[in-house]
Chain A
């Protein structure tokens, strides 16, 4: 007898019975993207198992939308995600050196100050 009346009502089977789940029985995997507020990006938060995209959305709502702010969710089949191989990470290695792509790579104030200084000297002489 179980302490749980619901368990007693189940009429549990033979404890030695072998129950096996077949491959694929837990469906497919969908990646979930969560939008916290209007105007924000959808951000990847995890994944769910589902038989199709519609069910994936329902499960995603249960799993990732039951707390805090959420205004929208996206799901996409994991198999449809194309990503670089993480071993190719070094192709981004020189990003930090490309200061010519960055505002910080251009020192306009230095030039302005230098110009003003030289002008100031000329004015003074005049």
Chain B
């Protein structure tokens, strides 16, 4: 799943601005030429301090999103309707955890250890995709997540897989391949409810109504409110603007929802045929920022569950530790 367009950054990162000044201009020029030629950057290459920092931030938050994203879905494994749905959901949740591992490894090649990343998640310093601060109340929520959140994540991840950092691209290629199964099984379960009994339809409509706002938030704030986007796009860290990705998502998936006679809770939502852009009401960006800063319905539970897991798994990790082993970062 799950990387959103929005990458949280600490405001006023002063240390960074000072370091940026020290990047050697000749190396920077050679680096930018290399990216402009379409070449990939690999772990041992020289890279600007800011490029490294932004990538760590991006990939790490993507990794956290995979791990935390498995929690609302994992809730439903024991209650999934039928054996096939249960098998598929177990497989999907395992995939998401696997994606987290792949992404942590990619971030590690940039010099931040796995332990540092986990600690930043647990302390709240590092964020994850905001959608997972909302609860999955019914089985229909799981189908909405599996279909639409995964679809949104694929839009984002396919774009990012064409970025400039080799290890991240390779991880995303594998991830996107597995995501295609997630999307399809989610759509299958979604259609089953949408074409089912009146109760099933009502349950799905209720889930759609509750999830629409987080889905609109998924790609992050409008372009006019996003900081530092230009440089990131030039360096091919960010491959498409938040609004462009959101538009692409709406263009592909709103018709797929409407054709099943389901509705979306925004009367203003429509495609402007002249501009080719979707128009919609303000999805309440204040709520987005409130939730990402800890004020959502599930923020506390998600982190508490992660802390519980780290605390209770510690004796196993320690029992297996080989402290004399020479430690290393991933090679590629």
Q: Do A and B bind each other?
A: yes
**Interface set of A (CB-CB < 8 Å, partner B):** 2-7, 10, 12-13, 15, 17-29, 31, 44-49, 51-52, 55, 62-63, 66-67, 77-79, 81, 83, 85-87
B311 at the interface (CB under 8 A from A): yes
Contact count A vs B, C-beta below 8 Å: 130
Interface residues on B, range: 35 or more
The interface stretch among B6-14, B42-50, B201-209 is B42-50
B170 at the interface (CB under 8 A from A): yes
Whole-angstrom distance between the alpha carbons of A23 and B94 in the complex? Answer: 26
Whole-angstrom distance between the alpha carbons of A10 and B313 in the complex? Answer: 13
8 A-B pairs within 8 Å (CB atoms) are namely: A3-B135, A13-B304, A21-B118, A25-B317, A44-B332, A46-B170, A48-B101, A86-B43
Residues in A with CB closer than 8 Å to B303 are 15
Whole-angstrom distance between the alpha carbons of A86 and B304 in the complex? Answer: 42
Residue picked from B44, B137, B301, B331, most chain A C-beta under 10 Å = B331
Contact (Cβ within 8 A) B331 A31: yes
* A47 to B: closest C-beta gap in Å: 4
Residues in A with CB closer than 8 Å to B44 are 83, 85-87
Whole-angstrom distance between the alpha carbons of A83 and B109 in the complex? Answer: 15
Chain B, 293-332, contact with A by CB distance < 8 Å: what is the 0/1 string?
A: 0000000110111011011001001101111011111111
Contact (Cβ within 8 A) A55 B320: yes
6 A-B pairs with least C-beta separation? A79-B328, A51-B320, A4-B75, A86-B44, A26-B114, A78-B328
Contact (Cβ within 8 A) B332 A22: no
Contact (Cβ within 8 A) B329 A29: yes
Whole-angstrom distance between the alpha carbons of A72 and B119 in the complex? Answer: 35
Main secondary structure of the interface of B (DSSP, over half): helix
Contact (Cβ within 8 A) B304 A12: yes
Residues in B with CB closer than 8 Å to A51 are 317, 320-322, 325
Contact (Cβ within 8 A) B330 A63: no
Whole-angstrom distance between the alpha carbons of A27 and B101 in the complex? Answer: 13
Whole-angstrom distance between the alpha carbons of A20 and B328 in the complex? Answer: 21
B89 at the interface (CB under 8 A from A): no
Contact (Cβ within 8 A) A13 B308: yes
Contact (Cβ within 8 A) A86 B45: yes
Residues in A with CB closer than 8 Å to B42 are 86
Using CB atoms, name the residue of chain A closest to B122: A19
Whole-angstrom distance between the alpha carbons of A51 and B123 in the complex? Answer: 25
Residues in B with CB closer than 8 Å to A20 are 119, 122
* A39 to B: closest C-beta gap in Å: 23
Contact (Cβ within 8 A) B307 A17: yes
Residues in B with CB closer than 8 Å to A2 are 301
Contact (Cβ within 8 A) A6 B307: no
Given contacts A28-B322, A63-B98, contact A21 B310 (CB under 8 A): yes
